[in-house]
Each structure stands twice: as structure tokens, then as C-alpha cells.
Chain A
Amino acid sequence: DSGVTQTPKHLITATGQRVTLRCSPRSGDLSVYWYQQSLDQGLQFLIQYYNGEERAKGNILERFSAQQFPDLHSELNLSSLELGDSALYFCASSVAGEVGTGELFFGEGSRLTVL
């Protein structure tokens, strides 16, 4: 158990809808990262928050947004959903904002299916 909690584990919704994925980082970790994992694209970095502030942005669509709250949990909001948004969404956390050695702790993911 990595200590990172993600909810929901599975989500099925329709095109055009909006969903919110939730992540609670490990106790003491200040950074939260969101990743999208699909079969053809692999693990893609979306966005990072550090202690409530956006720290880095990757290939995140404008239809997607995220935030980190004062208690350090984070939410990823996906709107105007398309079939291609179906994927596994992972949250990861780390103590610091910089983890060049790759020591990230991943949650079990939220599997999103858009029909």
C-alpha cells in the first residue's frame, strides 16, 4: 500500500459529461501529480501541485482542470468528456516538489470509461 488514496476506483459516464477524481496524498507529502495512462500513449504527466500551488503542467487538455486544497488532497476535474478520455488516471505524491530520482508514490488509479 503506497499510502495514496484515489476515489472512485471505477467510473462509467457518457460523452459530454463532467467527472471529478479525488486524491489524498501520503501523510506528509506536499506534492501531488496527476497522470493519464492509456494503452497507446503510456503514462502521461498532466499536472503537479505543490503545497496548494500549481507547480508544473504537462499535456493537460483545457477541458481538464485540477486543484489542491489546504488539507493537501487534490481533485482532477474532467469536463465535456469524449470517448478518447477513457483511461486510467493516476495520482502520485512526493514529499518535495523536486524528485529527480523518480521516488513517486502512486495510488491505485481511477478507471474512467466514457460511453
Chain B
Amino acid sequence: DAKTTQPPSMDCAEGRAANLPCNHSTISGNEYVYWYRQIHSQGPQYIIHGLKNNETNEMASLIITEDRKSSTLILPHATLRDTAVYYCIVNAGNNRKLIWGLGTSLAVNP
């Protein structure tokens, strides 16, 4: 599975959009981009995933570049409850093991 690179930490003001980048330059054609987050002392929570088209759900938007080598997770109106570690993972299917990096620790400030 392809490796991902994320900045270790980011800050965002409450109410503003949070844009979290992820590089996955070695992604294969059959690999999806998944985003999860982990709030302190809880299990990971799924946010969104996509293959090549941009995706949007009630939590976030996912923008994938045309060459698929990077993506951006957008939280449109960040709240204090969005403070968490955000993980970008590329994976070819649901029964494949997920490789977790260190993610991006997002701090949403009042």
C-alpha cells in the first residue's frame, strides 16, 4: 500500500475552514484515499473517502488532485470538537490492512 505524508500539526480558528493536506505520490490506480480522525482516547472515526473524484458528505469535503498524488480534506466550519488527529490512508479495499502514519494533529482554537 502507498505511503502518505502529512504535516504533523495545524491550527485553525473556530468557525473557519480547516484544510488538511496529504501527499500520496506513489498511489496505485486501484487505491482509494481514506480519511479518519481520532479524538483523544477514542477509536478512529471514519470521515470520507474517494478514488479520483472530489467527494462531499455531512462532515467534510475531499479534494483529490487530477494526478491523484495528493489530496486535501476540508472541514468547512471547524468547531472545537473537531480537535483531533487526522489520518490520511490509501488502501485498495476494505479487507486490506490499513497502514497508519502519525497523522496531523489539528487544534481548533476559540
A pairs with B? no
Q: Which A positions have Cβ atoms within 8 angstroms of B?
A: none
Q: Which B positions have Cβ atoms within 8 angstroms of A?
A: none
